[in-house]
Amino acid sequence: MYTYKERKEIYDKLLNQLIHLGIEGAVQIGSGVNGYTDDFSDIDMMVAVNLPVTENKEKIKELLLDLGAIYIHEGMFREDIYLLIPFFENGLEMDISIMPTELLSVQSPLWKVVYDSDGSVLKKMNELNEQFLNKQQPYRTTPNIAFQFIYRYRKAIIDLKRNNLIGALAHIDIMKEFILEIQILNENQKLHQFKQYQLLDLSFQEVFLELYQMDISIDGAEELLEKTMQLFKDTISKNKSIKYDEDIYSIIENL
């Protein structure tokens, strides 16, 4: 596994070589902005480039290979926004999104402009940050999350009646994710790419982890389903921003 020093050295090399390529700017995002959560944190960065973006993406890919990347996963969020996830022999991972300055985004307070060729990147990020902070709910949440939960509950019941244990458990796993999302909001945590579940309320953690204790059987899944529903009700009752029609519970009656 890589050390703190190795991560810092490769970060510095990356930034220097990106500047040498002629990028418009670079924005560090995630825990690295505050010195990283721990020794296992990776490097997250947005890189603003000139058009054409695809040409610059290929140059950055070559740069990462020269730095020692042993594998690079490529993705595309939308037109002119690309993702490169390089992995290194020492275990280090990077998440690098590449885009024009006008397509930069702010999805959490954890960002820092680490290079700006002409001031336009910082100007854009400050504008986006102001918009982010002025939103009533700045983080993207699951639309109609209460309905989505109840609908999954309904599907799980039907699967149990069909003796489809795996299908029911798959629905319950998604229901757990909805509960986690609500709890993160309840605790005013940063929802975007939240990973530090160990920071959540300890009493919630204890009850949530009980959802992983069950008999692998139809009866065991039925009991788990009821425990999951109870935790959902307890969790959403503490949330002041999620509005929903309690009549949605009618869709699971008489099943």
Contact, 221 vs 168, CB < 8 A?
Answer: yes
Query: Is 242 in a helix, a strand, or coil?
Result: coil
Res 136: pLDDT: 62
- What CATH superfamily classification does 4-134 receive? Beta Polymerase, domain 2 (3.30.460.10)
Residue 108 has pLDDT above 90, yes or no: no
Say how far apart CA 27 and CA 237 lie, in whole Å. Answer: 38
Chain segment 144-162, per-residue pLDDT in tens? 999 999 999 999 999 999 9
Residue 231: its pLDDT value, please?
Answer: 98
DSSP secondary structure string for all residues of 147-158: HHHHHHHHHHHH
How many of the other CB atoms lie within 10 Å of CB of 133?
A: 10
pLDDT grade for 177, boundaries at 50, 70 and 90: very high
Burial label for 70, CB within 10 Å (0-12, 13-18, 19+), is: exposed
pLDDT at 36: 81
Q: Is 85 helix (H, G, I), strand (E, B) or coil?
A: strand
Domain boundaries, the chain: 4-134, 145-252
Domain 145-252 in CATH 1.10.10: no
pLDDT confidence bin for 179, thresholds 50/70/90:
very high
- Burial (Cβ within 10 Å: 0-12, 13-18, ≥19) of residue 5: exposed
Reported pTM: 0.71
- The arithmetic mean of pLDDT across residues 122-130, rounded, is 95
Q: Which of 84, 97, 99 is nearest to 50 (CA)?
A: 99
User: Element (H or E) spanning 127, and its range?
Assistant: helix 120-134
Same fold, 4-134 and 145-252: no
pLDDT digits (tens, 9 = 90+) for 222-249: 999 999 999 999 999 999 888 888 888 9
Maximum CA extent, the chain: 67
For the beta sheet containing 111-116, the strands, ordered from the edge strand earlier in sequence to the opposite edge, are: 69-78, 81-88, 94-99, 43-48, 25-29, 111-116
| CB half-sphere exposure, 230, CA atoms < 13 A | 11
Cis-peptide into 52, omega within 30 deg: yes
Q: Is the pLDDT of residue 42 over 80?
A: yes
